[in-house]
Structure 1
Amino acid sequence: MKYVIVLGDGMADEPIASLGGKTPLAYAKTPELDKLAAYSEIGMVHTIPEGMSPGSDTANLSVMGYDPKQYYTGRSPLEALSIGVDMKLDDVAIRCNIVTLSEDEPYEKKTIIDHSSDEISTEDAKVLLEAVTKELQNETYQFYLGTSYRHCLIWSNGSVVELTPPHDVLGQTIGQYLPQDEMLRRMQERSYEILSRHPLNLERRKKGRKPANSFWFWGAGTRPSLDSFEEKYHKKGVMISAVDLLKGIAVGAGMDNIVVEGANGGLHTNYEGKAKAAVKALTEDGYDFAYIHVEAPDEMGHQGSVERKVQAIENLDQRVIRLVREGMDASGQSYRLMVLPDHPTPIRVRTHTSDPVPYLLYDSTALQNRDWHYSEAEAAASQNVLGEGWRLMNHLFSQGFDNV
């Protein structure tokens, strides 16, 4: 038996008036999910433990089978693992977003416009990161290039200070959300002074792109320690994601990462490449389990774009899930396929919430006509509820259905 999880980051949502009172997941044209749901178990799962922040870090740890209350030490340390940072015990890792701020006010009165700087390319981000680090980097503060707008700061002998995620305060004045630590705040302000007049941003403005004009620090944490996935579940696993956070979880869990060319975490990522890589890993390369992570629905939720979030879900259906199902069927190998979000990213709030999310579990060897569709409402109506998300992996690896 082979096992696959297809995770649509932030895919769950709330009913939206412009969609006729449907969620983007219920509204989207998803013929593949409809086909699978008719023969699958569906239900709801709580991926965010009570009292913890609804981030992709805690949520994906849950889905991967690691109780966040036991294993979570912060988001940025997981990302640091993915880019090869060897953290010391007294190091603190901090996420460094390159964001777009408004430009006509003093720094503390600026508004955060875009947490991703128009989904800036890694190539452009590298230029800007180098421009700032030439001045700010020293033995205490070391910067590391990540992917797109997502980068890393390692603070030697640092403190795990409280910092606000930029996607939580989109459209708001930033003053009350700036770091309380004096040096971190000064570095953010200085980054704006350097980047706002950088030639690359001057060119971006001419082209109608948002300037990538400030660093934003958040997600502080210490070095993580995850148990080996293979020892824990007796399955050889592989991660397929464009996002450093997911790659870092895989590194920490001793899983392999597959890098797919053109996979960028945006709406126009290489969906097909991810699907084909997973099928090859399972059918040719000896892996038992593949985790396919697609960031696009979450990014569109943060952007507040109903149309683009629907498009991201439809892309996931036809350009990932369909290809995985067809590839696995063609291989003749039996498999169990689970589809779910990690957390909701509702259009209404443009950030994450802690609400439970719908899951779908398909078993190629146990086809039963359920007459279900995959949506938040139908999953809730199924009355299948898993209260602790980290137990979901055991459910995937078990046999049969409806034993949550």
Structure 2
Amino acid sequence: MKYVIIIPDGCADEPIEALGGKTPLQAAKLPTMDALAAKGCMALANNTPSHFPAGSEVANLCLLGYDPNEYFTGRAPLEAAAQGIQLGKHDFAIRCNLVTIDDQIMTDFTADHVSTEEATELLASCQKELLGDTACDARLEFVPGVSYRNLLIYRGDADTPAPFSSETRTSAPHDLTDLSVVDDFPRGPGSDILVRLMSDSAALLADHPVNKKRIADGKRPATNLWLWGLGGAPAMPTFEQRFGVRGVMITAVDLLRGIAALVGWPRIDVVGATGYLDTDYAAKGRAAVNALADYDLVCVHIEAPDEASHEGRHDEKIKALEQIDQHIVAPLVAALTDSGPHRILITPDHPTFCSTKKHTHGMVPLLMAGDAIEADTQTTYDELAAEAAGRRFDHGWDLMDAFVQPK
């Protein structure tokens, strides 16, 4: 049995007036997904329990069969795993965005998609200028990632555990787009350290040569550090231990790379995969088809629909969905048809509404098709069809048990 999981991140949405009351999934032309819906079954799943943030970190763990109540410690530790950073029992990882804040408004949580090279230079300055001689600062290190997505690592020990804890509260910058940040700085244990670094970064970055050049080039500057999503080291069984199949991850996003590392999946890095609207969909599709020869399960994550939602661009969200249907779903369906017994699952992790530009809690539509999956009466892949099908996974982590057929 071969398995394919396709995750069009954040593709679930609400009806949009400009689309005649349709959602982007309903408005998009998705012939391959609709054909699969006619052959398979639809359902709704809740991957974002209400007591957790409505983010990709919790939602993707749920989607892959891991109860966040047992396994989730924070977003940043997942991204640390993506970079091969080992966290000890007294260590903490903290997500560090480079953002653009103008007059206390979160103008851009990506700092206009600051380049990795620029981010690396900015963080080197932060390491040198913002971290002083205190015992705590000596244990902190900024670690560049990809573009605006970076980390701050705290190394503790038995005698000097981290000042942070699971009670430290932070806010995701992508949920603050176009909103005031005044009331969303960290709170709780260790928050004074995080707030100091975030506040002090404004003066340092204001006159930085990287930002001066960006402004001269007509780009937004990276005005601030935004620290959030912190947590300690997670521990979880591998996917193969849980479900008996060997998987591989294809994604351009560190968060998913980190989850893959923690569940024991290698990853395939695709040239041209950017984690944005300009990603090379066809290259990801080819890589997924090729991976079927070596793995029981191939998981393809595509960030573009979520990015379009965060920008409030329903037209770009529709384009992304159509590209996924044509260049990823279609070639995989063709390859699976020739490979023998197989199953395919298509589902977003969480809803992201174009109207609010935010992740949100709520059910997402999923489609399963393939061997021994009984067809229902639905013929399109969208939110209304999934609701009409009547099947629900109120705990998203139960979905994988229904999808993976035990060996």
TM-score, normalised to structure 2, is: 0.91
Alignment counterpart, residue 390 of structure 2, candidates 360, 383, 388: 383
Task: Tell me: CA distance 1:233–1:366, structure 2 relative to 1, closer, same or farther (3 Å).
Answer: closer
Alignment counterpart, residue 232 of structure 2, candidates 222, 226, 229: 222
Task: Tell me: CA distance 1:371–1:189, structure 2 relative to 1, closer, same or farther (3 Å).
Answer: closer
1:154 matches 2:153: yes
Q: Deviations over 1:52-91 (max 9, x none)?
A: 2211111100111101111111111111111111111111
Question: How many percent of aligned residue pairs carry the same amino acid?
Answer: 40
Structure 1 runs of 4+ with >6 Å offset: none
Q: Deviations over 1:159-193 (max 9, x none)?
A: 13211111122212222112342221121122222
Aligned to 1:402: none
Q: CA deviation at 1:254?
A: 1.3
Please tell me the residue identity of whatever aligns with 2:288: A
Q: CA deviation at 1:364?
A: 5.7
Please tell me the residue identity of whatever aligns with 2:26: A
Cα distance in 2, alignment partners of residues 359 and 14 from structure 1: 15
Cα distance in 2, alignment partners of residues 139 and 45 from structure 1: 44
The equivalences for 1:305-324 within 5 A come to 305-324=313-332
* SS of structure 1 residue aligned to 2:36: helix
1:274 matches 2:281: no
Alignment counterpart, residue 271 of structure 2, candidates 253, 261, 265: 261
1:240 matches 2:280: no
Alignment counterpart, residue 108 of structure 2, candidates 83, 93, 114: 114
Structure 2 unaligned segments of length 5 or more: list them. 132-136, 156-161
Q: CA deviation at 1:273?
A: 2.1
Cα distance in 1, alignment partners of residues 284 and 117 from structure 2: 22
Please tell me the residue identity of whatever aligns with 2:335: G
* SS of structure 1 residue aligned to 2:49: coil
Aligned to 1:346: 353
TM-score, normalised to structure 1, is: 0.92
The equivalences for 1:13-32 within 5 A come to 13-32=13-32
Q: CA deviation at 1:10?
A: 0.6
Q: What do you get for the CA RMSD once the two structures are aligned? A: 1.8
Aligned to 1:167: 174
Q: Deviations over 1:267-326 (max 9, x none)?
A: 11122222222221112x2x1011111111111111111111112212211121112222
Q: CA deviation at 1:366?
A: 6.1
Aligned to 1:125: 119
Alpha carbons 2:377, 2:389 under 8 Å: kept: no
Cα distance in 2, alignment partners of residues 381 and 64 from structure 1: 24
Please tell me the residue identity of whatever aligns with 2:194: L
Task: Tell me: CA distance 1:126–1:327, structure 2 relative to 1, closer, same or farther (3 Å).
Answer: farther
Q: CA deviation at 1:158?
A: 3.3
Aligned to 2:217: 207
Cα distance in 2, alignment partners of residues 174 and 332 from structure 1: 52
Alignment counterpart, residue 304 of structure 1, candidates 307, 312, 335: 312
* SS of structure 1 residue aligned to 2:301: strand
Cα distance in 1, alignment partners of residues 47 and 193 from structure 2: 35
Task: Tell me: CA distance 1:274–1:158, structure 2 relative to 1, closer, same or farther (3 Å).
Answer: farther
Alpha carbons 1:335, 1:365 under 8 Å: kept: no
Q: CA deviation at 1:203?
A: 2.3
